Amino acid sequence: MNRLLLPFLLLLALPCTTLAQETTPDHDGVRQAVLDYVEALYLVDSTRIVRSVHPSLRKHGYWRPDSNAAYRDAPMTYDQLKALATRWNVDQQRADPATAPKRITIYEVLDKTAVAKLEASWGIDFFQLAKIDGRWQIMNVLWQSYPLAQDATDDM
């Protein structure tokens, strides 16, 4: 019986880990860059794109104009994204800035690079970010509309 008790006690003595997101300055910086990106579109504020997205951005997406349509290819440059942020939600018919989904998941933050995910009203975006001159900036975005079996309000 003692042989079983010792391993159990050793397991209890090990430090516990948590699945909660870390809150370090780098995690906060990554989260803020992604938040700036989504709020630039929701709030029609292109200055947030300037603040959070690197000018060499590579963005590629797949969207459906309606549930019966096939996915369409949607590449976008930094300048196109910045222009989109000046008009996408100008009438607030696409998303209510106060209630629109903006779930951010940070997968990994290293000292120079990070990976994150955003669930927004238009779909799901995956980000690669880099820390440049002390500031986290979005370098690459790959996104798609929600799959047919899921929409922006599921589990949010």
d(CA 120, CA 99): 11
Report CA 10 to chain centroid distance, whole Å.
39
* Of 140, 117, 142, nearest in space to 55 by CA: 140
Reported as a single tens digit per residue, the pLDDT across 21-57 is 578 999 999 999 999 999 999 999 999 999 999 999 9
For the chain, give every domain's residue range: 22-144
d(CA 59, CA 50): 15
3-state SS class at 49: helix
Reported as a single tens digit per residue, the pLDDT across 62-81 is 999 888 889 999 999 999 99
3-state SS class at 6: helix
The model's pTM: 0.81
Reported as a single tens digit per residue, the pLDDT across 90-99 is 999 999 999 9
d(CA 21, CA 26): 12
Compute the chain's Rg from CA coordinates.
20
CA angle at 75 for the pair 70 and 77, rounded to the nearest 5° = 160
**The domain 22-144 is classified under which CATH number: 3.40.50.11540, 3.40.50.10480, 2.60.40.1890, 3.10.450.50?**
3.10.450.50
